Amino acid sequence: MALKRNKSNIVNLALAISNEDGKAGMTVDQTIINGRSATVQFRLINGAKKSGAVKLDRQSCEDLLEALQEILATDGEF
């Protein structure tokens, strides 16, 4: 009989992005297992309510990045 040990390094990142009063915004949660991203999910925050989690794959995250860069490239107040 042989002993097999499997050790996983799991890191959970939680990022919160909100407006100045903190009542509206979103959270981004990422799970990293053994140095590789396993899941990324987003939730909207509106007051005390949180929306259901929306999981995105890597391509969707890259598309979101591109969309945000395009938005921020335009001058003006939001």
In a domain, 1, yes or no: no
Is 42's pLDDT higher than 90?
A: yes
Mean of the per-residue pLDDT values of the chain: 92
Is 5 part of a structural domain of the chain?
A: no
Q: Is residue 30 part of a domain?
A: yes
Q: Is residue 59 part of a domain?
A: yes
Residue 61: domain span:
10-72
Query: How many separate domains does the chain show?
Result: 1
pLDDT at 1: 66
Residue by residue, DSSP assigns 3-53 as: -------EEEEEEEEE-TTSSEEEEEEEEEETTEEEEEEEEEEETTEEPPP
Look at residue 3 and tell me if it is in a domain. no
Question: What tens digit of pLDDT does each residue of 11-40 get?
Answer: 999 999 999 998 999 999 999 999 999 999
| 54 found inside a domain | yes
